[in-house]
Amino acid sequence: MSATDPTAAPPVTLADYAAGARSVVEPDVWDFLEGGAGDERTLAANLAAFDRVSLRPRVLTGRGTPDTKTAILGRGWAAPVAVAPMAYHTLAHPDGESATARGAGAAGVPLVVSTFASRTFEEIAAEASGPLWLQVYCFRDRATTRRLVERAEQAGFEALVLTVDAPRLGRRLRDVRNGFRLPRGVAPANLSGADFSSPSAHAATEFEPALDWSVISWLRSVSSLPILVKGILSPDDARRALAAGVDGIVVSNHGGRQLDGAPATLDVLPEIAAAVAGACPLLVDGGIRRGADVLAALASGADGVLLGRPVLHGLAVAGARGVEDVLALVTEELTEAMALTGIGSVRDAGPELVGGRAVPARPVHNPGPSGLRPEDLHGSVSDPVLGTMTFLNEITTHYPDAVSFAPGRPYEGFYDTEQIFTYLRRYLDHLETGGATPEQVRSALFQYGPTSGQIRELIADSLRKDEGIDVPPESVVVTVGAQEAMLLAVRALIRGPEDVLLVSSPCYVGITGAARLLDIHPTAIAEAEGGFRCADLAAAIRAERARGRRPRAFYIIPDHSNPTGTTVPLETRRELLELAAREDILIIEDSPYRLVSPGRQLPTLKSLDRGRRVLHLGSLSKTLFPGARVGFAIADQPVTDASGRTSLLADELTKIKSMVTVNTSPLSQAVVAGMLLTADGRASELNKATAAYYGDAMRVTLQALESG
């Protein structure tokens, strides 16, 4: 059984590996490894929870060999199992985390590296062939945390796992009984300058004790890596995590919780899964000792599990090969459990598999006469971003005399109610002059009309005259404001979790809100002093590809950006188009303010686009008629199917629109079309006075601010 006894029978169960490990490490070291980050009660509760679960066998399902593969954060895993973060692997084997990385890579699963790893991030990365994530503790000295994160990112790590339930590690009872201190020569390879011999004492003095949810934003500011939070045990905290914008959640009670009756992770997993509702990957750890435990976790709502102590047992017995064997054994047991329960894929695991629950079933919530609760709805409705537009419009409605710089509402003094009828009549005359019969004119106003819009020719003509954008009308989709155009573009381009939407940041709240509705978490490209830099976008694209993800599109407002007000220089615009071609991404150009801005305008990205790299979004709200809610998307990119048939991206956006708004109001389109026709298609002519007025208002405002 022992690694030092070549005649012993090889381990064939996880219990064999545990026995073998116990025989090759010192007793106090064994207690340290087994004690984990909690104590005996934590481990016992987790083990008991899995023991209470029974899985329902199914027969004659015709499923064939089960498929254990999954994908999380855009990376494929051979099984829904990752190696949990654990400190000081050199206590189990001289090669430490380097050997663990080799074993995890050979098994095709990720390794979550502890901040207190006994090998450097660079050494571990050199041995890894699978994804590496970094477990992050937030230190009182944020500069220390920043340096660790930056080093890990530079070494090729693909995600950050922030431990949020460990403001202190608590009393590890086995270590207290043994008076355990780390052996000489064992210390965190990535930290220095402190006494690490007593892990609990070090944590008490060095960990930040007063973290709040703002730490997520802080981590975003220092790293572009996806962020998971580890230590969630309640649905409320899961919802808070989603609102904070995390990329994943780990249900875990390994943060040293010493509360009597603190729940086992499997006990709380179903209600947390219900709260998350698929908005991000959900992982769980604690007490997993069999492949059937993995399947029970999946059936209870997890997307994957983190396996801890058994990996250290394999490491102690046979180094990297032992780690690989332990992970292979768990995967083999998972495959067997899936076959016996009739599951063909890990994606098929659901609550119907579970015959016995870890805790008595909670009563199903019945809204009754009191209505729904926020937690019964999609997580986006609790996101503050989604309330922004409504709040700004309500403020303006309730306080009409207030001067507000927030909502971007056009000045109402430019409008005359009677003009609506004039413009509508102008469009009807246009239809009749073009040969439309009275029945066709009636249908154009009263019926739904084509989903792609009935004034595409007029919009294309206006863009050609005002902006030098020469595209066929077939590439235009008329939308319900530019906001719908954003939703259609993001939904069409971002296919799944492996696809990435990049955004210039700070960015317009509408794009982040649309992404949130679709459970997409954009990657922010922070503007430097002076504005956007292509080098920062190129670096972010490389980083995303290093994590196995696929950058698809970059959203930017190049003219008078909302909210920063910056304008991208002409040279940078050309550089951005070259970058998009080189990196094979699309640019989503949003430019609603150009025609109402004073001064000479730079060319749009779309007018400079020679490779169909730009998906241009436009709005006629700021320039013509806000209440009409007419926007558009220019999507002239070719889409070729497997048979070789080619269409336009505009056709695909139209398919999505047909299931969102069906069509844009024909009456609104008619009024806007009449406005364009009165100016021979030149919206710029209709906005000369508007732009001059706003220019004067801007100068007066700046003078008042300077004098005040």
- Strands of 493-585 (E only): list them: 499-505, 523-526, 550-556
What are the pLDDT digits (tens) for 129-138? 999 999 998 8
**Residue 562, token pair as written in the block:** 């909302």
pLDDT band at 682 (very low <50, low <70, confident <90, very high): very high
| Structural tokens at position 127 | 């041995």
The whole-number pLDDT of residue 245 equals 87
Look at strands 523-526 and 499-505 and give their pairing: parallel
Residue with the larger pLDDT of the pair 74 and 451:
451
Residues annotated as catalytic are 254
- Is pTM beyond 0.85? Reply is no
Q: Is the pLDDT of residue 691 over 90?
A: no
> What confidence tens digit (pLDDT) does each residue in 349-386 have?
888 888 644 433 333 444 444 456 666 677 666 666 66
How far from 636 is each of 281, 284, 474, 483, 560, CA to CA, in Å? Answer: 34, 45, 8, 19, 25
**What pLDDT shows up at residue 95?**
93
Do residues 643 and 595 lie in contact, with contact meaning Cβ atoms separated by under 8 Å? no
**Amino acid letter for position 435:** G
Across 304-318, 358-372, 403-417, the highest mean pLDDT is recorded for 304-318
pLDDT of 616 higher than 80 = yes
pLDDT value for 8: 58
Beta bridge pairs of residue 502? 523, 554
Per-residue model confidence (pLDDT) at position 198: 53
The pLDDT of residue 151 is 94
How long is the chain?
708
CA 700 to chain centre: 42
- pLDDT at res. 594: 87
Mean pLDDT of 297-305: 94
Question: Is residue 556 within 8 Å of 564, Cβ to Cβ?
Answer: no
Q: Has residue 58 got a pLDDT over 90?
A: no
C-beta separation of 318 from 329 below 8 A: no
Q: Could you tell me if 540 and 525 are in contact, meaning their C-beta atoms sit under 8 angstroms apart? A: yes
Least confident of 575-589, 616-630, 691-705: 691-705
Instruction: Between 574 and 90, name the one with better pLDDT.
Output: 574
Q: How far apart are CA 223 and CA 614, in angstroms?
A: 28
Tell me if residue 330 falls in helix, strand or coil: helix
Dihedral angle over CA of 6, 117, 323, 3, nearest 10: 10
The mean pLDDT value for 326-353 works out to: 90
Instruction: Give the mean model confidence (pLDDT) for residues 35-47.
Output: 66
Mean pLDDT (whole number) for 141-164: 92
- Asked if residue 451 lies in contact with residue 662, where contact means CB atoms within 8 angstroms, the answer is yes
Residue at 426: amino acid letter = R
- What is the average pLDDT across 507-512? 87
The pLDDT value recorded for residue 358 is 41
Does 181 score more than 70 pLDDT?
no
- Give the residue, 580 or 413, on which the prediction is more confident: 580
Would strands 523-526 and 75-77 be described as parallel, antiparallel, or unpaired? Answer: unpaired
C-alpha triplet 482, 587, 509: angle, nearest 5°: 45
Cβ–Cβ under 8 Å, residues 271 and 239: no
Q: Give me the residue label for tokens 């050979």.
A: 106
Query: The tokens of 192 are what?
Result: 């220095």
pLDDT exceeds cutoff 80 at 93: yes
The chain-wide mean pLDDT, for the chain, equals 84
* pLDDT surpassing 90 at residue 47: no
Q: Which residue has the higher pLDDT, 198 or 468?
A: 468
Report the range of poorest mean pLDDT among 169-183, 360-374, 498-512, 584-598: 360-374
Whose structure tokens read 């002409």?
A: 570
At 398 the pLDDT is 63
Q: What is the pLDDT of residue 56?
A: 83
pLDDT of residue 568: 94
Check pLDDT > 70 for residue 406.
no
Residues 6 or more apart whose CB falls under 8 angstroms from that of 446 comprise 666
Averaged pLDDT, 41-52: 80
**Tokens linked to 185:** 């020569």
| Tens-digit pLDDT profile for residues 201-258 | 444 446 666 678 888 988 988 998 999 999 999 999 999 999 888 999 999 986 544 4
